[in-house]
Amino acid sequence: MNKVIYLDNAATTQVYPEVLEAMNPYFTEIYGNPSSIYTFAQKANRAVLSARQTLADFIHAKAEEIYFTGGGTESDNWALKAAAEAYESKGKHIITTKIEHHAVLHTCEYLEKKGYEITYLDVNEYGTICSKELEQAIRPDTILISVIAANNEIGTIEPLMEIGQIAKKHGVLFHTDAVQAFGHIGLDVDEMNIDMLSASGHKINGPKGIGLLYVRKGVKIRSFIHGGAQERARRAGTHNVPGIVGFAKAAQLADNAMDEKIAYETGLRDYLIDRVLKEIPYSRLNGERTKRLPNNANFCFRFVEGESLLILLDQKGICASSGSACTSGSLDPSHVLLAIGLPHEIAHGSLRLTLSEKTTKEEIDFTVEQLKEIVDRLRKMSPLYEDFLRNGAK
């Protein structure tokens, strides 16, 4: 099989042809700077305005609450650093979780060095935070709660509605890193009481290098990139017009097909999970069984090393990940798998497969067959597995 089987849609996605088609004119024909005043440039400006409205509608926000950024990482950095600075006089305490993306975790570490105090909430064995623990962690000097909407490694969806209610009740800002959730599950910033939300184009079949930060009207937010007057002078720099247009087109496509996409991916995901757990001994599913992203499956295979698994899958043309693209290359096991209570040796044998609406049952069948063989092969080389069998598989 020479074809590539792409099962790493949490790392990035294909730009859909419709998205590219929508973007193309803004490179070559309508290339004016949207901030210029002549008619030619105003065509580009109108495209930015329309994209802003589309993306705002998608999460039930207002157009003026959407700020374009260079991606999810920038949006997370902005939300945390700017809120920290703007609300410093109220306090310097921030609540987040142990299973955030590094864009949030490393920003929190930076803020700790600047004198902020961060509470990292624990999660249960499925990766869900406890609302009661969250509420108990709130103090008079708490200025921000930042909780990932859906985890990028294990796919668990957090109780956003409850978190929003708690944040509102205590008058604390609520930011969510919704990069994995946006376009994959329904999000409503009003219903969920979300004050700030990060999203990214390339995780929803849009282009790379474009993201957004939603900031509720009335929230004090500091400028993040200083320069021109773009984005109400809060995020300066000439607009990435093709990127913005492509991001909005991708959101529109996701919006139109959301229910079908969720139903299809959930069915295929459950088929994959059932086959793996049934056909591969000593395997486990990580994350919530049902409250998880429709396209996410994350497994651990005992006595198997994740990196070896990935290399052998790659030889069969299967693109997969051991957790997060950001931790590959490092030998530390995933902080998310440790947070759900897995011991180091088991966390090392993890595999994340993330599907798309274009993934086929044939591809999943092929992948499961290869996986069975590869896991078997790796275990036969493992002295630990040998001991385990000798001791009566206990």
- Cβ pair 125, 155 in contact under 8 A: no
Residue 72 contacts ligand PLP per CB under 6 A: yes
At 326, list the tokens: 């950001």
Residues 352-371 contacting ligand PLP, CB under 6 A: none
Q: What span, in angstroms and rounded, lies between the C-alpha atoms of 298 and 284?
A: 8
Residues 207-266 contacting ligand PLP, CB under 6 A: 211
Instruction: Count the helix, strand and coil residues of the chain and give each as a percent rounded to the nearest 5.
Output: 45, 15, 40
Beta bridge partners of 296: 354
User: Of the two residues 200 and 370, which places its CB atom closer to ligand PLP in the complex?
Assistant: 200
User: Of the two residues 203 and 335, which places its CB atom closer to ligand PLP in the complex?
Assistant: 203
Left, alpha or beta for 298 (phi > 0: left; psi -120 to 50: alpha)?
beta
> Smallest gap, in angstroms, from Cβ of residue 152 to ligand PLP?
4
At 320, list the tokens: 């997969």
Residue 152 contacts ligand PLP per CB under 6 A: yes
Mark the segment that binds ligand PLP (CB under 6 A) among 21-29, 66-74, 117-125, 222-230. Answer: 66-74
C-alpha 136, offset from chain centre = 27
Mark the segment that binds ligand PLP (CB under 6 A) among 15-23, 68-76, 167-175, 273-281. Answer: 68-76
- From residue 79 to residue 118, the character string flagging contacts with ligand PLP as x (rule: CB under 6 A) and all else as - is ----------------------x-x---------------
Q: What span, in angstroms and rounded, lies between the C-alpha atoms of 383 and 380?
A: 8
User: Of the two residues 76 and 158, which places its CB atom closer to ligand PLP in the complex?
Assistant: 76
User: Of the two residues 103 and 167, which places its CB atom closer to ligand PLP in the complex?
Assistant: 103
Residue nearest to ligand PLP (CB): 72
Amino acid at the residue 106: H
| DSSP assigned state of 15 | P
Residue 156 contacts ligand PLP per CB under 6 A: no
> Smallest gap, in angstroms, from Cβ of residue 382 to ligand PLP?
31
User: Of the two residues 159 and 317, which places its CB atom closer to ligand PLP in the complex?
Assistant: 159
Find all residues with CB under 8 Å of 166, minimum gap 6, and list them.
131, 134, 135, 138, 145
Which position among 130, 300, 319, 326 bears the catalytic label?
326
Considering CB under 6 A, how many residues would be counted as binding ligand PLP?
15
> Smallest gap, in angstroms, from Cβ of residue 113 to ligand PLP?
21
> Smallest gap, in angstroms, from Cβ of residue 136 to ligand PLP?
26
Q: How far is CA 338 from CA 320, 333, 350, in A?
A: 20, 7, 11
> Smallest gap, in angstroms, from Cβ of residue 200 to ligand PLP?
3
> Smallest gap, in angstroms, from Cβ of residue 3 to ligand PLP?
25
User: Of the two residues 180 and 283, which places its CB atom closer to ligand PLP in the complex?
Assistant: 180
Q: What span, in angstroms and rounded, lies between the C-alpha atoms of 310 and 124?
A: 27
- From residue 168 to residue 207, the character string flagging contacts with ligand PLP as x (rule: CB under 6 A) and all else as - is ---------x-xx-------------------x-xx----
Q: Which of 114, 119, 77, 73 is nearest to 94 (CA)?
A: 119
Strand-pair category, 350-354 with 296-301: antiparallel
Pseudo-torsion of CA 290, 269, 261, 287, nearest 10°? 40
> Smallest gap, in angstroms, from Cβ of residue 328 to ligand PLP?
13
Amino acid at the residue 75: S
Q: Is 130 annotated as catalytic?
A: no
User: Of the two residues 95 and 199, which places its CB atom closer to ligand PLP in the complex?
Assistant: 199
Burial class, 21, CB count within 10 angstroms (exposed 0-12 / middle 13-18 / buried 19+) = exposed
* Interface residue list for ligand PLP (CB under 6 A): 71-73, 76, 101, 103, 148, 152, 177, 179-180, 200, 202-203, 211
Active-site residue list: 326
